[in-house]
């Protein structure tokens, strides 16, 4: 299968090959995908990081030769600020936190191909980070609007939020909340949790439908309407603005 790379800031990945189809996730600038099928102006892709499949506009990805993919995939850094800026063809090229930068040819230069050179005007991060850094990066998304399938500071959903923060910090999580709920160690009590652990929530049928970051003092940081802080207890998430519980707690997991 041929490899491609996202060449726009954020590309929607849709359930079907149509602009009106549901967005199921996104790929950010620099993310690698496998090409599974080409249908006119649409490409069915598999995201290499988490295996998610869907359809993207063919204009928003760049096909890579085996040699180009091999060269680019040697080293990955991430844009570390909520809104970053690259320069392409002497023009600004905005990106979001979590955009991937591969194999710098010079300290401030990144090439997708010989004809597509980007200059970097932002700080980068790479490698595994300490647990304390998890929340540092999570708080960079505060007040980001909720967007089903979103993974960026332009809009994000609950599991996209947790996946992206852990990804930036060097850890791999699957895309959906129910998949993430199978990773790590289940804790018996809230008091055993540490800031940065993940709390999972279920619906009336027992299905995992929501996830967020445990904070100190029985608080939670999660994407619900926007990335926000709410109260957390054994029942679930209590939203003091509307004075009611919004999510029922299933368990808390220590990811690492």
Residues that are catalytic: 158, 210, 222
CA distance 113 to 178: 37
| Residue 11 tokens, joined | 């590309």
CA distance 181 to 184: 8
| Residue 215 tokens, joined | 């904070």
H-run or E-run covering 32: strand 32-39
Q: Are 60 and 8 in contact (CB under 8 A)?
A: yes
* Cα atoms found within 13 Å of the Cα of residue 85, Cβ hemisphere only: 5
CA distance 158 to 134: 15
| Residue 142 tokens, joined | 């505060």
- Chain-centroid distance of CA 207 in Å reads 22
């Amino acid at each position: 299968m041929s490899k491609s790379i996202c060449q726009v800031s954020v590309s929607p990945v849709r359930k079907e090959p149509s602009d009106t189809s549901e967005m199921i996730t996104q790929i950010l600038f620099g993310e690698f995908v496998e090409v599974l099928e080409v249908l006119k102006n649409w490409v069915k892709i598999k995201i290499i990081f988490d295996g998610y499949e869907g359809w993207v506009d063919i204009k928003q990805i760049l096909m890579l030769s085996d040699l180009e993919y091999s060269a680019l995939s040697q080293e990955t850094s991430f844009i570390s600020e909520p809104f970053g800026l690259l320069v392409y063809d002497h023009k600004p090229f905005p990106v979001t936190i979590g955009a991937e930068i591969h194999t710098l040819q010079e300290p401030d230069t990144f090439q997708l191909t010989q004809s597509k050179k980007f200059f970097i005007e932002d700080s980068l991060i790479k490698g595994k980070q300490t647990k304390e850094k998890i929340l540092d990066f999570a708080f960079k998304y505060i007040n980001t609007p909720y967007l089903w399938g979103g993974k960026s500071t332009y809009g994000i959903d609950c599991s996209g939020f947790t996946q992206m923060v852990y990804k930036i910090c060097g850890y791999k999580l699957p895309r959906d909340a129910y998949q993430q709920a199978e990773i790590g160690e289940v804790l018996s009590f809230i008091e055993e949790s540490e800031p940065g652990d993940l709390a999972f929530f279920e619906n009336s049928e027992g299905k995992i439908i929501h996830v967020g970051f445990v904070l100190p003092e029985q608080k939670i940081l999660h994407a619900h309407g926007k990335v926000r802080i709410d109260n957390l207890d054994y029942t679930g998430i209590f939203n003091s603005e509307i004075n009611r519980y919004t999510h029922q707690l299933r368990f808390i997991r220590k990811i690492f």
